[in-house]
């Protein structure tokens, strides 16, 4: 992802966030999340070493993934019209391959929204802890590549 892509990625993140998981937050918490993930924030993350990859379909942004420290899925968003078409899986497989080539040990984590848990499970992630809430956001700590088995407290 280059600087020219960041604005579109930030807009996609906001649209999907408001539709799928920011409804559990107060309006102030939702607005704070959007500010903390706007184009300027994405530029800072890239400058800090987060690695982003994007997918396009017919020249339009279909989705993107951001990785922190070659082991944590920080962002993974797929445009609504591109969901259930394998875009998220291809983004994950590409980001995982790049991380492994860069020295990752094969264990990856993510804090998945309730909406995204089934998708991450289809990729091989398992719950590592019960659902948590921070700043009004519900998330599910998940892990890939480590034999934990399913979390006992999983719903």
Neighbours of 27 (CB within 10 A): 9
pLDDT score for 95: 98
Residue 138: alpha-carbon gap to chain centroid: 14
pLDDT in tens, 50-102: 999 999 999 999 999 999 999 999 999 999 999 999 999 999 999 999 999 99
Measured between alpha carbons, how far is residue 78 from residues 20, 38, 59 in Å?
12, 16, 15
CA distance 15 to 5: 16
pLDDT score for 24: 87
Measured between alpha carbons, how far is residue 136 from residues 81, 113, 148 in Å?
27, 12, 28
- For the cut 80, the answer to whether the pLDDT of residue 151 exceeds it is no
Q: At what angle do helices 27-36 and 3-20 cross, to 10 degrees?
A: 160
pLDDT score for 7: 96
- Mean pLDDT taken over the chain: 93
Q: At what angle do helices 39-47 and 3-20 cross, to 10 degrees?
A: 120
**CA nearest to 143, candidates 121, 125, 120:** 125
CA distance 117 to 103: 27
């Amino acid at each position: 992802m280059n600087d020219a892509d960041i604005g579109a990625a930030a807009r996609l993140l906001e649209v999907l966030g408001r539709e799928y998981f920011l409804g559990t937050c107060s309006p102030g918490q939702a607005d704070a999340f959007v500010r903390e993930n706007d184009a300027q924030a994405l530029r800072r993350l890239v400058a800090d070493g987060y690695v982003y990859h994007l997918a396009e379909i017919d020249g339009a942004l279909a989705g993107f993934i951001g990785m922190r420290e070659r082991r944590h899925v920080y962002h993974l968003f797929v445009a609504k019209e591109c969901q259930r078409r394998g875009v998220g899986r291809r983004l994950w497989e590409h980001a995982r391959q790049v991380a492994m080539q860069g020295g990752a040990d094969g264990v990856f984590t993510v804090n998945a929204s309730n909406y995204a848990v089934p998708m991450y499970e289809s990729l091989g992630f398992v719950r590592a802890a019960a659902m948590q809430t921070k700043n009004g956001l519900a998330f599910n700590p998940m892990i890939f590549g480590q034999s934990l088995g399913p979390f006992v407290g999983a719903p």
